[in-house]
């Protein structure tokens, strides 16, 4: 990294040059338990900015459930509906991938709360030895288990050559003051032992193409120019790498899953010099902000 990355005091510093925000959810709009109120307010103010084209916000989440389910969670946490125009999730993309395989016999790895991703699709949920496809939405018990607990089953499934759809490429997600393991950890373990993994969500290109299509459909307008789009997120590996690979700008929210590494913990309330940490990363955001605020 040769060019210093600016640290912003608020979204207002870069908002004027953007028509579309692709905003992460967990770690940016809420912490897994309650809303970050100022983040919702910042997005509302962005959407109300005047301009030749209506400003839009599409929430892009690696949640392994359909967007309407994420919307209900946001309602419960107190994220205002006025903060965004639409929600696109890796669960939505997972449904598309399953729909392309009618009649699939699926071994679902993940908690019961994620079963909504299969609703009304042509499939059968079966035990491991009857499956022809794996869909991983997470760990059965993400508070106590690790990827190692799944290695014996993953080894058997990889030996049979079954593809895995990873419905949440995140490795971890913030929940209160804890980091909870996600489906991405199991997918990485599956790939490590030779299994085929199909990822639905960030940082992979299809989710960004789908997000821009959703945004264009909101006002019947032409597709957005990439130079007028910015992605906001708290994860280097997914949010920032995905934006970089797709060719759009990105804003890293420091007080998210990288908070411990960056020193913005409960005991250290301000963002210090993070140039060294950023320099060690393989991709870099266009700017950094401590929390999403206006």
Buried b (16+ CB within 10 A) or exposed e, 9-27: ebbeebbeebbbbbbbbbb
What are the boundaries of each domain within the chain? 7-91+203-289, 102-199
What's residue 219's pLDDT? 81
What is the mean pLDDT of the segment spanning 176-182?
Answer: 76
pLDDT of 264 reads: 64
Q: Helix, strand, or coil here: 193? A: coil
pLDDT at residue 202 above 70?
yes
pLDDT, mean of residues 163-173: 90
**For 71-127, what is each residue's pLDDT tens digit?**
999 999 999 999 999 999 999 999 999 999 999 999 999 999 999 999 999 999 999
The count of other CB atoms within 10 Å of the CB of residue 89 is: 28
pLDDT for the residue numbered 270? 56
* Euclidean distance between CA atoms 283 and 288, whole angstroms: 13
* Domain 7-91+203-289 top-level CATH class: alpha beta
Q: Which residue in 73, 67, 64 sits closest to 88, CA to CA? A: 67
SS3 286: coil
List pLDDT tens digits, range 128-155: 999 999 999 999 998 889 889 999 999 9
Question: Which residues share a beta bridge with 164?
Answer: 134, 197
pLDDT(171) > 70: yes
Between 182 and 3, residue with greater pLDDT: 182
- Which class for 188: exposed (0-12), middle (13-18), buried (19 or more C-beta within 10 A)? middle
Percent of the chain with pLDDT over 70: 92
**Local structure of 47: helix, strand or coil:** helix
Would you say the CATH fold of 102-199 matches that of 7-91+203-289? yes
Strand partners, 70: none
Q: What is the mean pLDDT of the chain?
A: 91
The sign of the CA dihedral 273, 274, 279, 285 is negative
**For 230-247, what is each residue's pLDDT tens digit?**
999 999 989 999 999 999
- Give the residue from 180, 197, 224, 178 showing the smallest Cα distance to 56: 224
Pick the CATH number of 102-199 from 3.30.230.70, 3.30.300.20, 3.40.50.1000, 3.90.550.10: 3.40.50.1000
252-287 residue pLDDT tens: 998 766 766 666 655 555 566 677 778 888 899 999
How many Å is the Cα radius of gyration of the chain?
19
């Amino acid at each position: 990294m040769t060019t210093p990355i600016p640290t912003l005091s608020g979204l207002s510093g870069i908002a004027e040059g953007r028509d579309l925000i692709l905003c992460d959810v967990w770690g940016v709009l809420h912490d897994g338990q309650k809303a970050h109120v100022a983040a919702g307010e910042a997005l509302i103010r962005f959407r109300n900015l005047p301009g030749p084209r209506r400003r839009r916000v599409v929430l892009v989440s690696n949640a392994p459930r359909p967007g309407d389910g994420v919307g209900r969670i946001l309602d419960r946490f107190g994220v205002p509906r006025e903060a965004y125009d639409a929600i696109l999730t890796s669960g939505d993309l997972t449904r598309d991938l399953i729909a392309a395989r009618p009649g699939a016999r699926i071994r679902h790895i993940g908690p019961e709360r994620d079963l909504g991703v299969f609703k009304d699709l042509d499939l059968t949920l079966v035990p491991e030895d009857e499956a022809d496809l794996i869909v991983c939405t997470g760990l059965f018990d993400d508070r106590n288990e690790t990827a190692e607990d799944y290695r014996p089953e993953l080894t058997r499934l990889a030996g049979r050559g079954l593809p895995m759809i990873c419905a949440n490429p995140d490795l971890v997600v913030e929940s209160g003051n804890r980091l909870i393991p996600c489906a991405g950890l199991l997918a990485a373990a599956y790939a490590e032992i030779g299994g085929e993994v199909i990822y639905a969500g960030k940082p992979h290109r299809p989710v960004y193409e789908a997000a821009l299509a959703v945004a264009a459909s909101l006002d019947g307008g032409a597709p957005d120019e990439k130079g007028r789009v910015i992605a906001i997120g708290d994860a280097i590996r997914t949010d920032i790498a995905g934006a970089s690979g797709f060719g759009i700008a990105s804003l890293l929210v420091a007080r998210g899953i990288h908070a411990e590494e960056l020193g913005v913990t409960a005991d250290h309330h301000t963002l210090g010099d993070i140039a060294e940490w950023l320099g060690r990363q393989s991709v870099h955001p266009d700017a950094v902000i401590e929390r999403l605020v206006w």
